[in-house]
A and B are shown apart, each in its own frame.
Chain A
């Protein structure tokens, strides 16, 4: 390959990515979406204030369903987050170059989803201002956390995951911030990108040390994802509750997490590509690969359902009763809803034509996000609402404040993602160039 077109191509890619913040291609659409998100953020603030003032009694939570929406939504959000890390870290290690168009915004999705997820249990505490009691510090009361409890594991897992995700995302974006700084014309953009680019100048030794740090962090991040969601499943599986106390839970949760996350990445990819007019960087190939990932992880999650049913049939007794209760009890709609929304639409993804078509891919992914939400809800509520004592049987019905908080968090996620899209390089342009260079020169 001759040198001229390659260098021209690099220049075009730089321009396409880093010119987005200063010359945003779709200001009106962005403003409308951001306005809607801000309204929902307002709802979030009101809902949280309501909980802080009136207490968790404003929700449908009761005894025995003490967890309700906050914990099932917490798991749903964290699960979504995991796909960002998997796309970015696992595919980096496997040297799958198609990740380069997706990893930046998939990781941003992780950060915002984990933030939403992580705030839920804190709001759920009842006295959230004491959340730091979860941390081991030498308090004057002489009290330490219960380290043999999954609740404490949870605190460490989510905090570690959030910090590691922020670091991984940030060191990945520094070279692109430098490119944006070097292209910026207006003073305020120069200062903004300049500060966050930390003075990156593309030095060879810097790149080599950067590469070492980036790859090792990726290699650690993959088992971290598995550990974090396995640990979350321990919140369930480690307790003596029928329908939860099962070794199938950790892999079942991790796969379900990847499934819902890949679906949300697909939705965001469709959005980023049409809103920012990046159709030659986020191509049909990327939608195709994402569709395959959704289908594959979906089928594995489906296998998890079968394994769970088998375990219950094999175990008999209480487990069997819970199983029939899930099929036909008061929460039957959440079980069958999960089955239908999760596993029926994805069957269309067997066809390439559907995978690469933006609107069907978006709708199928939306269906998966809904289905996985129903699954988390079903697993939580159907096991908790009826204990084996007559006195502790109580149906759970979400209230207005349950729904408003959930919608508010969706608004927060959207607002944060829109701000990211508006102000930062959404695509890792230097990694795309690197892949082109390697392809051209073997």
Chain B
């Protein structure tokens, strides 16, 4: 039998602050919480307890690796195929710096952006959350909190979200994958 998709509870808010507040409270209660907003909202890190630095580190690692590789290939190529230009040194460090810099930038950006997509698990064209009725407004002017419903009592979370000022709460997912 195919594995069931996880079920989510989706709560809509008209304003960013209650969304952040609701996320913070529910997270402290032990729920797995995610926010959905039309633009990055200030205070998201604190509300989600986000401290990850994988993406910046990927830029750094990519940059260092790129610089080393860019420099190394120039040294190798000049030794493997020596072009004598007026007796000038084959390993001409100042002349190598530009390509070293360019390769550093290229590898840093590619590894940083690739890491961002991998960590975000994108591309993923379909997600159960898209089934929520008003979820298309998450890219317009509404703010959403989604909770991962495991085996916990749904009613408790619904009540809490209602108290936090959510305009509507709905349940999605939990079925067979499409």
Contacts and interface: CB of A to CB of B under 8 A. Distances in A.
B96 A147 contact: yes
A175 B138 CA distance: 11
A157 B138 CA distance: 39
Q: Which 5 A-B pairs have the closest CB atoms?
A: A204-B35, A144-B77, A10-B141, A198-B123, A182-B136
Interface of A: 3, 7-8, 10-11, 14, 136, 142-148, 152-153, 156-157, 159-160, 163-164, 167-168, 171, 175, 178-179, 181-183, 194-195, 198-213, 216-217, 220, 223-224, 227, 231, 234, 430-431, 433-434, 437-438, 441
Nearest to B47: A204
B77 A182 contact: no
Given A178-B139, A201-B127, A160 B102 contact: yes
Overall SS of chain A's interface: helix
A227 B37 CA distance: 37
Given A142-B81, A199-B127, A213-B55, A220 B109 contact: yes
B40 A207 contact: yes
Interface stretch (B113-121, B149-157, B169-177): B113-121
Contact of B140 (A153, A179, A438): A179
B122 A198 contact: yes
Overall SS of chain B's interface: helix
Contacts of B129: 201
Contact of B14 (A7, A14, A434): A7
Interface string B63-103: 00000000001100110110101001000100110110111
A173 to B, nearest CB: 13
A205 B34 contact: yes
B98 A231 contact: yes
Given A179-B140, A430-B38, A220 B48 contact: no
The winner among A206, A209, A434 for most chain B CB atoms within 10 A is A209
B77 to A, nearest CB: 4
A441 B18 CA distance: 14
Contacts of A438: 42
19 contacts: A7-B15, A144-B80, A147-B74, A147-B77, A153-B98, A160-B103, A163-B110, A182-B138, A199-B125, A199-B126, A201-B127, A205-B120, A207-B37, A208-B52, A209-B119, A220-B109, A227-B98, A227-B105, A441-B17
Given A14-B139, A204-B36, A437 B41 contact: yes
A256 to B, nearest CB: 20
Interface string B33-58: 01111111110110110101111100
A303 to B, nearest CB: 25
The winner among B55, B73, B129 for most chain A CB atoms within 10 A is B55
A194 B95 CA distance: 46
A152 B74 CA distance: 11
B140 A437 contact: no
Contact of B138 (A147, A164, A201): A201
Contacts of A203: 34-36, 120
A136 B70 CA distance: 10
A242 to B, nearest CB: 20
Nearest to B138: A202
